[in-house]
Amino acid sequence: MLGTIVNTCTIIVGSIIGAVMNRGIKERYKEALYTGLGLACLGIGLNAVISNFGKSEYPVLFIVSIALGGVIGTALDLDGRFAKLISRRTVDSSSRLSDGLSTAILLYCIGPLAMLGPVISALKGDNTFLYTNATLDLVTSVVFASTYGKWMILAAPVLFCWQGLFYAIAKISSTAISEALMAELLIVGGLMIVASGLSLLKLKDCKTLNLLPSLLIPVLWFVIKSICCL
């Protein structure tokens, strides 16, 4: 878990540095950062989808995942509940802050380094992937916190729990997290990052938080498949 702890700490440190910088950045420069982050999200998300689509064993699964997960998230009103939670604790624009935090969480958690890192750490004791990811997240967290403020630090415990889950599953069963499942998660996660980019660019409010249950659908599919094959 050392690599995950280091990765989490870099986000905390980066968020603190960015929050301090946030006070001295004029609004027009923040708008420029919003645009830059939005474009970056589109690029990262599309790359994740395109690079993993050829590895998918079930090309229709990501469509079902996004559609069904979106319906579940909308029924639970995850985006609305989160916006209300944030608005009680800050005077900032809750909708923009929730967009920023959801985007940060997705960028930190959805990616080969963030997902494969804890698995390799658990199986081989090699933290190279996680240390590399920590370096990238340090820079990213500074940018996000300098744009959205101190609340970006909330992404750190989410990353810890996410990577901790992968680490624990890999420790329990080395075959539970297959390359096929990883590819499906990266495709769905990539689409969610694209959705965040569209929201940041004010092209379409995709309410990305409502799409979070989409990540569970591929997992459930592979669990059902493995049970049926017994």
Instruction: Write down the pLDDT at residue 10.
Output: 95
Quick: pLDDT tens for 99-132: 788 888 888 988 778 888 898 898 888 898 899 8
Question: Would you say residue 93 has pLDDT above 60?
Answer: no
Instruction: Write down the pLDDT at residue 87.
Output: 63
Instruction: Write down the pLDDT at residue 60.
Output: 92
Max Cα-Cα span within the chain: 60
pTM above threshold 0.85:
no
Percentage of the chain beyond pLDDT 70 is 94
Question: Would you say residue 90 has pLDDT above 60?
Answer: no
DSSP string, 143-166: HHHHHH-GGGGGHHHHHHHHHHHH
Quick: pLDDT tens for 140-162: 898 889 888 888 999 999 999 99
Quick: pLDDT tens for 164-180: 988 998 888 767 778 88
Instruction: Please state the rounded mean pLDDT for residues 191-200.
Output: 88
- Asked whether 52 and 61 are in contact (CB, 8 A), the reply is no
Q: Give one word for 178, left, alpha or beta, with left for phi > 0 and alpha for psi -120 to 50.
A: beta
Burial pattern 91-117, b for ≥16 Cβ within 10 A else e, equals: eeebebbbbbbbbbbbbbbbbebbbbb
How would residue 92 be classed by pLDDT, with cut points 50, 70 and 90?
A: low
Instruction: Write down the pLDDT at residue 31.
Output: 81
How would residue 94 be classed by pLDDT, with cut points 50, 70 and 90?
A: low
Instruction: Write down the pLDDT at residue 191.
Output: 92
Quick: pLDDT tens for 39-82: 988 998 899 899 899 888 888 999 999 999 999 999 998 888 87
Quick: pLDDT tens for 1-34: 899 999 999 999 999 999 888 777 777 887 888 7
Q: At what angle do helices 179-200 and 112-124 cross, to 10 degrees?
A: 150
